[in-house]
């Protein structure tokens, strides 16, 4: 036989010597040997950012069921998929968002709008409405009476109040909850009357929303129709401090990771984060909405939050970055009245005037499903490339550009024009006053009118 000598490809030279070892590289890692590294990486960054835009498909599903606008939503702590929502028609639904079905549905939970929903411990749910009642529900699919999801449910308990409730929130650990009407009331789940009333003296406002701090759970905050934000502590049993702002706030949310930080969604199209240790100025202003911001919610990571506005958009912000949020919109989505992050920080829910709850991805271009390690490495590489090359004009432009509905765009333009005109006017005024007499005030200083104690 003819002896054939083949080119031998010894695998030992290309495989790690031991299982844990890195794969031997036959590359020269000397940067001088790679004069075109930068150019190549820039091209990759450009491709990465293009791919991001190509694959940005955030909308996942819409949960139907409400007849009227979705007023409020709450996620069940410790779960990923259970979300309760209340509507203007008094209907209350508990959704399983992963299966997209109703766990519980009560059509006439309250007379009139359900203004607040929150989960008590275990499977119980608290709702409050403008019918001056707080109701406690069992959200299990079959409750102890044997009533299934389709049966008419009776509340476990009803807490009657004296005036219409606007908001409700449950303490993180203790069986107490707080309601907001014309005053803030603290209730015990086992008692039918409020155990204490908290109000800032001389205030005759309507409290529109209330939230317990998550980490420092005795602290709670409320916002009122008097353009106020008030801080309470149930340990001292007092309204401790109040600030009055230029415009009233519509929603508030405590940061889960930074216990001193609170986020306010304001009527003046902006969102503000405050550090409760110094309420004189906001720590950051978030400007992008072109109409009043109706709701906001922090991501469980505390590095992102979502806001829904009267301008029919949902925006996802990075903490500390006051501009250029991710913007979601659909043709049929109306005013967004409630927004929510899921507990794994991967999805965002928005409830809107059209009675639907929509599920969005928190990161529009993220691939869902299982990733293998190489794919993950590639994704991470692309992300870091984008991050690195964001200063490049071309890359930046592509990543920045969003197509938004025309009305929103126009409103934005108009707003810009108006603000610019204001600025110019102010500048002129300053120019024509005696030198040094009027100084420009920082935008952050304009927000809070008064801090009351």
d(CA 132, CA 110) in angstroms, rounded, equals 9
Collapsing DSSP to helix, strand or coil, 290 comes out as coil
Interaction mask 12-31, another protein, x per CB under 8 A: ----------xx-x-x-x-x
What span, in angstroms and rounded, lies between the C-alpha atoms of 441 and 111? Answer: 47
**Are 425 and 418 within 8 A, CB to CB?**
no
Candidate residues 236, 246, 422, 433; the one interacting with another protein per rule CB under 8 A: 236
384 forms part of the interface with another protein (CB under 8 A): yes
| Least separation in angstroms between CB 241 and another protein | 5
Build a one-symbol-per-residue string for 333-372: x at contacts with another protein by CB under 8 A, - elsewhere: ----------xxxx--------------------------
CA 31, CA 445: separation in Å to the nearest integer? Answer: 49
Does 50 interact with another protein (rule: CB under 8 A)?
no
Q: At what angle do helices 373-388 and 37-54 cross, to 10 degrees?
A: 110
Compute the least distance from the CB of residue 221 to another protein, in Å. 11
Which residues between 73 and 132 bind another protein (CB under 8 A)? 77-80
Using an 8 Å Cβ cutoff, are 167 and 115 in contact? Answer: yes
177-216: which residues touch another protein (CB under 8 A)? 196, 201-202, 214-216
CB atoms inside a 10 Å sphere around CB 271? 28
Residue 42 engages another protein in binding (rule: CB under 8 A): yes
> What is the arrangement of strands in the sheet containing 101-106, beginning at the earlier edge strand?
70-75, 82-87, 92-96, 101-106
Closer to another protein by CB, 3 or 406: give it: 3
Does residue 283 interact with another protein by CB under 8 A?
no
**Residue in 225, 392, 404, 415 binding another protein, rule: CB under 8 A:** 392
Query: Does residue 322 touch another protein according to CB under 8 A?
Result: no
| 33 versus 54: smaller Cβ distance to another protein | 33
Q: Verify binding: residue 34, another protein, rule CB under 8 A.
A: yes
38 binding another protein? (CB under 8 A): yes
Instruction: Report the residue from 233, 283, 334, 335 that binds another protein according to the rule CB under 8 A.
Output: 233
Reference 324, options 232, 397, 406, 415; nearest CA is 397
- How far from the centroid of its chain's Cα atoms is residue 259's Cα? 16
CB 126 within 8 Å of CB 117: yes
Measure Cα distances from 272 to 169, 230, 334, 381, 440 in Å.
21, 15, 24, 33, 21
Report DSSP state, residue 390.
G
User: Which of 58, 129, 256, 282 touches another protein by CB under 8 A?
Assistant: 256
Provide the pairing of β-strand 293-298 with 304-309. Answer: antiparallel
Beta bridge partners of 180: 167, 184
CB of 294 to another protein, least distance (A): 23
CB nearer another protein, residue 145 or residue 394: 394
Q: Is residue 257 a contact residue for another protein (CB under 8 A)?
A: yes
Binding site for another protein (CB under 8 A): 22-23, 25, 27, 29, 31, 34, 37-38, 40-42, 44, 77-80, 172, 196, 201-202, 214-216, 219, 231, 233, 235-241, 256-260, 276-277, 300-303, 343-346, 377, 380-381, 383-385, 388, 391-394, 453
């Amino acid at each position: 036989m003819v002896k054939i000598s083949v080119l031998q490809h010894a695998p030992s030279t290309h495989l790690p010597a031991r299982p844990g070892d890195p794969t031997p590289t036959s590359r020269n890692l000397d940067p001088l040997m790679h004069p075109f590294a930068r150019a190549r990486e820039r091209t990759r960054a450009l491709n990465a950012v293009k791919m991001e835009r190509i694959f940005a498909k955030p909308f996942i599903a819409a949960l139907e069921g409400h007849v009227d606008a979705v007023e409020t939503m709450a996620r069940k702590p410790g779960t990923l998929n259970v979300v309760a929502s209340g509507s203007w028609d008094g209907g209350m639904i508990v959704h399983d968002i992963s299966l997209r079905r109703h766990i519980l549905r009560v059509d006439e939970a309250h007379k009139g709008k359900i203004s607040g929903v929150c989960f008590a411990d275990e499977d119980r749910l608290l709702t409050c409405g403008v019918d001056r009642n707080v109701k406690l529900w069992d959200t299990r699919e079959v409750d102890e009476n044997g009533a299934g999801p389709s049966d008419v449910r009776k509340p476990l308990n009803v807490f009657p109040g004296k005036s219409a409730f606007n908001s409700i929130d449950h303490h993180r650990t203790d069986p107490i909850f707080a309601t907001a009407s014309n005053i803030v009331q603290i209730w015990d789940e086992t008692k039918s009357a409020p155990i204490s009333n908290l109000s800032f003296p001389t205030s005759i406002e309507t409290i529109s929303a209330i939230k317990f701090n998550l980490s420092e759970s005795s602290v709670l905050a409320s916002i009122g129709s008097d353009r106020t934000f008030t801080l309470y502590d149930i340990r001292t049993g007092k309204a401790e401090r109040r600030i009055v702002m230029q415009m009233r706030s519509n929603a508030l949310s405590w940061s889960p990771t930074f216990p001193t930080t609170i986020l306010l969604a304001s009527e003046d199209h902006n969102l503000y984060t405050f550090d409760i240790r110094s309420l004189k100025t906001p720590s950051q202003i978030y400007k992008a909405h072109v109409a009043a911001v109706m709701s906001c919610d922090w991501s469980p990571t505390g590095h992102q939050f979502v806001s829904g506005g009267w301008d029919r958009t949902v925006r996802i912000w990075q903490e500390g970055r006051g501009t250029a949020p991710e913007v979601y919109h659909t043709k049929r989505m109306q005013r967004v009245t409630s927004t929510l992050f899921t507990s794994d920080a991967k999805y965002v829910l928005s409830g809107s005037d059209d009675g639907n709850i929509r599920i969005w991805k928190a990161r529009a271009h993220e691939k869902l499903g299982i990733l293998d390690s190489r794919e993950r490495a590639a994704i991470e590489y692309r992300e870091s490339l984008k991050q690195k090359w964001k200063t490049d004009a071309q890359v930046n432009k592509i990543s920045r550009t969003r197509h938004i509905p025309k009305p929103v765009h126009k409103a934005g333009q108009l707003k810009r024009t108006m603000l610019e005109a204001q600025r110019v006017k102010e500048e002129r005024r300053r120019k024509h006053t005696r030198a040094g007499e009027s100084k420009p005030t920082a935008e952050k200083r304009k927000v809070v009118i008064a801090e009351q104690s």
